[in-house]
Amino acid sequence: MEEKPKNLWKNVEDDKYQLHVTVSTTKSEDTDERIVYIDDLEKREQVYGICGECHEPGTGEKWCQTCNAKRFKNNFKNWTSGNKNIDEFIQQSQLNSVHRFNFLEWIPFEKFQNVTYVAEGGFGKIYSAELPEGDIHYWDIENQIWHRNKSSKYALKSLNNSSDLCSDFLNEIKVNLKIYLQDVIGCLGITQSPNTKEYMMVLYYLDKGNLRNYINTSEYYLDYKSKICKLHQIARGLLDIHNAGFVHKDFHSGNILHNNYPYISDLGMCQPANKQTVKEGGIYGVLPYMAPEVLRGQPYTEAADIYSFGIVMNEFLSEEIPFNDIPHDKFLAIKICNEHRPKISKNVPKLLADLIIKCWDAEIKNRPTTKELYQLLEKWNDEIKNIEDNEDSENVNKNSQNSEIYSQVKECDEIGRKKFESRSNKDKSMDIQTHPQAIYTSRLLNFNNLPKPITSSDLTSFQFNSDTNCAIQSTSANAISVQISESELNGFWQN
């Protein structure tokens, strides 16, 4: 009697290795670098173990590319989406998969239960649904079945006109397959609505919504220690996207989803960093988060994502929606090009405020690289954590006194916690009121003749009066105010 194959996989050390093979490092090159490419068979065996069937080293956690590709191929005859292109697209992902987040399933719509409309964004609709059988995690070698993860809810994301298999729909899925990382929401499969015939991406559903919703609905005080930790995780995801050779292009708080951890989502506008083009007829995005050079029609770069990160960072730390009290129109675009930025709360620790200002600097060269951003947030996060984890140590007072970020966070948290406890529910609801023309979903923007940034340090604020006149206000001791009418302003920019 033939002996049954045995489970010979090893448990992966999450803090030391990624859960998969082909991702870029997010650690510094000289210290504690996480494994990126494990091409060496001996190293792969050491990290993942070996397949109990073919006895070859795994390509990912509990994953054998060779054996799983055969299993998937043998099952091709048992399913079809009804569309040849979709079938081939899914089949290729399965044959080439090296990890459980690196392939797609065709999931018939009737397998979903309790499908519920959630929201509509700039490019499509989101539904929540239950999938009783769950999604594939790995092959259970002892029982010879797929082990499936039964998540409580899944998200079904449709894109406008996806019934015609528009390029945007397939592009987002392709990017998801290339950027299968811990801090980025991956695509698990494809389904199709029987009513609208629109194709839908199947993703994990995060119950706390996006980052903006997480801030506005929190019943507890969000201290700076936890905020720095979450910003560090978001920066890690952005760095992994950039290291994979892509830029996000639509980075804002609505595209950062949250449950216990933050995850970057909506990779539909992602594109290779070395293939930047300027679209004719306008650009897509959420105006308050868009870098001034992008508004002026220049190609989108990693530095533009860093600018957006600065806006998100301030929104998270200051707990204020950027430019929520004014229309998101051409005048706001002009103000952004002239270095007008959202207000930073006085209670934000100075080191964090300085980083925000550096991220949203009008000069690209003054912004930190993604790696610098990640490493600085990691340093602060580790510093605070180490001091608090060693509170009983004799050196804790000495260490805390020597840590500038710890001292600032501790002081600001004392003030912030008291302020939070004194606020009523009515006060909190007043804080999130927005102007009817403040739009926080991605849309087509077409602004012509926008100005180059003002580089003078005296012109750091650009404000408009309610009568549509423009006032340039200096922040220096000898403040000046120059009034320009709307017609004069338009003529000035055209000239």
Q: Is residue 133 part of a domain?
A: yes
30: burial class by Cβ within 10 Å (0-12, 13-18, 19+)? exposed
- pLDDT tens digits, 374-419: 999 999 999 999 988 876 666 555 556 688 999 999 999 999 999 8
Query: Mean of the per-residue pLDDT values for the chain?
Result: 80
Q: Is residue 308 part of a domain?
A: yes
Residues 244 and 110 in one domain: no
Residues 68 and 109 in one domain: yes
Residues 200 and 214 in one domain: no
Domain containing 13 equals 8-204
Dist. CA 306–CA 238, nearest whole Å: 9
Q: Is residue 302 part of a domain?
A: yes
Q: Is the dihedral of CA 64, 268, 116, 321 positive or negative?
A: positive
Q: Is residue 176 part of a domain?
A: yes
Tell me which H or E stretch contains 476.
Answer: none
Mean pLDDT, residues 62-80 = 96
Confidence band for 165, pLDDT divided at 50, 70 and 90: low
Which percentage of the chain shows pLDDT scores above 90?
Answer: 47
Q: Cα–Cα–Cα angle for 96, 102, 105, nearest 5°?
A: 90
Residues 234 and 176 in one domain: no
Full DSSP string of 215-246: HHH-SS---HHHHHHHHHHHHHHHHHHHHTTE
Confidence band for 470, pLDDT divided at 50, 70 and 90: very low
Query: What confidence score (pLDDT) does residue 396 get?
Result: 57
Q: Is residue 452 part of a domain?
A: no
Residues 80 and 30 in one domain: yes
Query: What confidence score (pLDDT) does residue 315 get?
Result: 96
Residues 130 and 259 in one domain: no
The domain spanning residue 156 has which CATH number? Answer: 3.30.200.20
Count of domains observed in the chain: 2
Query: What confidence score (pLDDT) does residue 17 get?
Result: 54
Domain boundary among 204, 231, 249: 204
Beta bridge partners of 106: 190
Residues 288 and 353 in one domain: yes
Domain boundary among 204, 232, 264: 204
Q: Is residue 266 part of a domain?
A: yes
Residues 19 and 123 in one domain: yes
**Which tokens go with 383?**
């510093």
pTM value? 0.81
Query: What confidence score (pLDDT) does residue 152 get?
Result: 83
Residue 333 CB partners (closer than 8 Å, separation 6+): 287, 295, 445, 447, 450
Q: Is the dihedral of CA 278, 371, 102, 98 positive or negative?
A: positive
Dist. CA 105–CA 107, nearest whole Å: 6
pLDDT exceeds 50 at position 495? no
Q: Is residue 400 part of a domain?
A: no
- pLDDT tens digits, 436-453: 898 888 888 888 778 776
For residue 328, count other CB atoms closer than 10 A to its CB. Answer: 21
Query: What confidence score (pLDDT) does residue 183 get?
Result: 79
Q: Is residue 488 part of a domain?
A: no
pLDDT exceeds 60 at position 231? yes
Distances (CA, A) of 273 to 243, 244, 248, 276, 360: 10, 9, 9, 6, 20
Rg of the chain (C-alpha set): 25
Dist. CA 457–CA 210, nearest whole Å: 35
On the CB side of 173, CA atoms within 13 Å amount to 28
Confidence band for 168, pLDDT divided at 50, 70 and 90: low
The domain spanning residue 328 has which CATH number? Answer: 1.10.510.10
Residues 116 and 167 in one domain: yes
Residues 379-405, buried b or exposed e (16+ Cβ, 10 A)?
Answer: ebbebbeebeeeeeeeeeeeebeebeb
Instruction: Give the range among 113-117, 284-288, 458-462, 476-480 with minimum mean pLDDT.
Output: 476-480
Query: What confidence score (pLDDT) does residue 85 get?
Result: 87
Residues 177 and 220 in one domain: no
- pLDDT tens digits, 20-45: 433 333 444 433 344 344 556 778 88
Residues 299 and 362 in one domain: yes
Residues 127 and 236 in one domain: no
Dist. CA 375–CA 236, nearest whole Å: 9
Mean pLDDT, residues 447-463 = 55
Domain boundary among 160, 182, 204: 204
